[in-house]
Amino acid sequence: MAGIGNHGKGYEGYIRSGVTGSNHPFDASGHPGKWMGALSVNGTGQSDFTGSRAGVGAISVTSGGGTIHLTGGGTVEAASLAQGGICELSVKQVTGASSLLAYALRTSIQQ
């Protein structure tokens, strides 16, 4: 695009999302694939997925235990999930996770 001058500003020359005048392709067409980001859950004791971290639609547990709280209510024990697999859950919070190593996957809205 003429006149924008974004070269060298990251995102392969596109302005980051949320910046005035952004022309990143994902802003217009959405993120490809089912997942658009991963958030690490590792020994923090509690991880909240609300506000700017909302939108977690799956979790992958590598090791350890903790309690996964769902957005619609209810809980699932992390130790009961298959380790290394992706379990599609709408996650609000993970607690008691001092030994947990997991990845919370953010859902791409335009699947």
pLDDT of residue 4: 47
pLDDT band for 15, please (50, 70, 90 cuts): low
Structural domain of 91: 31-107
> Does residue 50 share a domain with residue 19?
no
Decide if pLDDT at 91 tops 90: yes
> Does residue 64 share a domain with residue 50?
yes
Q: Which pTM was predicted?
A: 0.70
**Which of 110, 105, 95 is closest to 56 using CA atoms?**
105
> Does residue 49 share a domain with residue 71?
yes
CA dist., res. 50 & res. 60, Å (int)? 18
- Count of domains for the chain: 2
> Does residue 9 share a domain with residue 43?
no
Give the mean pLDDT of 6-13: 48
> Does residue 78 share a domain with residue 41?
yes
pLDDT digits (tens, 9 = 90+) for 25-74: 666 666 677 888 899 988 778 999 998 899 999 999 998 889 999 999 99
For the chain, the average pLDDT equals: 79
> Does residue 35 share a domain with residue 2?
no
> Does residue 55 share a domain with residue 1?
no
